[in-house]
Amino acid sequence: MAPTVSVIIPVHNGSKTLQACLAAVYAQRHPVTEVIVVDDASTDDTREIAAGFPCRVLHAEQNAGPAAARNRGIRASTGELLFFLDSDCAPEPEALGNALAILAEQPDVACVHGIYSLRPLYDDGPVEAYRLLHGHYWRLRNVGRVRTTLFAICLIRRAVFADVGGFDERLRASEDVELGDRMGDRYGIVLTDTVVCRHDDDSHLGRLLRKQFGRSQLLVPVALAERGPAGIRANTPAGLLCATLVPATLPLGLAAPALLLVPLGLLLLFVAADPGLLRFVARRRGPGFVVFFYVVHLLVQLTVVAGAVVGGLRHLADRNFGPARVAAAKLPR
């Protein structure tokens, strides 16, 4: 008999995308056993949208973040397998079936997660196109066996949570990465390009940078807590270093205009740090978009570095900033 599958969707103010997300869930070619929407104290009409589908809706009085919402969904679910979706993701019709096939073909694999489509859920402009291009590229680059779990679209065996515990509810970002690290080598994890979802990504540069700065503050604490080798990284160390040095060397031009060649050279090295990405963007959107892409990419990389530095300092000042230093609570089978 086919295993039972519970779909768990954490959502906070998801009125723009939840309708499309749930419609895509119920359009899966492989049927699901139950769908659980965990409303994390939304203030829009998220609840009303969810009520239009035959799903179970759990309401939180206070916003507690995606880790707590996912844990609540796990406790309320009954499926042998748990299919996690972010509320701004709409899986392609064959996504669940393809993930199930990988679990059936590779019994040592406990977790299968997928990639974002290059086609957005809603086309909101060039900033979103940048995000989707970069997000698709680095996931595609890492397809295969990995040590990192990414829960935007992810199928996982329920038994994992009874063994390693649930999500760390102190984390508002990187909670899925931290869980994957706890899974370690005991459970196989596969990132596949056969499990695809359309994603509604950030479309306003200011909002993108603010969100990236907040998320990046947890990079250092989570990395320091990792028990095994580093998992998936979206950006290359060389690219991050060159991005940091570009503005740092700009004042050299005050001493001598010719020294502006230094930051210019570093900018070129930044673009060349990941030649595969450069070719990918040029092939998909053309050379004109490449310029826009790397302007935004530079700003994002600088924000990542700034967030990581601030997060590292916060961790030094308060060791409770970051992953919990006690074992995560194990969830029932």
Average pLDDT over residues 181-209: 94
- Who wins on pLDDT, 321 or 2? 321
Domains of the chain, CATH where assigned: 5-203 (3.90.550.10)
Q: Supply the pLDDT for residue 230.
A: 66
pLDDT in tens, 142-171: 999 999 899 999 999 999 999 999 999 999
Q: Say yes or no to pLDDT of 277 above 70.
A: yes
Q: Supply the pLDDT for residue 331.
A: 80
* SS3 at position 206: helix
Please give the full DSSP string across 243-312, using - where no structure is assigned: HHHHHHHTTHHHH-GGGGHHHHHHHHHHHHTSHHHHHHHHHHH-HHHHHHHHHHHHHHHHHHHHHHHHHH
Q: Supply the pLDDT for residue 327.
A: 58
| 5 φ/ψ angles, rounded to the nearest 5 degrees | -125, 125
The sign one gets for the Cα dihedral 265, 268, 270, 275 is negative
Q: Supply the pLDDT for residue 122.
A: 95
Q: Say yes or no to pLDDT of 326 above 70.
A: no
- Who wins on pLDDT, 112 or 222? 112
69, 60 contact by CB (below 8 A): yes
CA distances from 112 to 57, 81, 150, 313 (A): 25, 11, 9, 34
Please list, in sequence order, all residues whose beta carbon lies within 8 angstroms of the beta carbon of residue 113, skipping any fewer than 6 positions away.
149, 150, 151, 152, 153, 154, 155, 189, 190, 191, 192, 195
Q: Supply the pLDDT for residue 232.
A: 78
77, 155 contact by CB (below 8 A): no
Q: Helix %, strand %, coil % for the chain, to 5?
A: 50, 15, 35
Q: Say yes or no to pLDDT of 202 above 80.
A: yes
pLDDT in tens, 206-248: 999 999 999 999 999 988 888 777 677 888 999 999 999 999 9
Structure tokens at 183: 């899974």
Amino acid at the residue 257:
P
Confidence of residue 91 (pLDDT cuts 50, 70, 90): very high
Q: Say yes or no to pLDDT of 184 above 90.
A: no
Confidence of residue 295 (pLDDT cuts 50, 70, 90): very high
Q: Say yes or no to pLDDT of 130 above 90.
A: yes
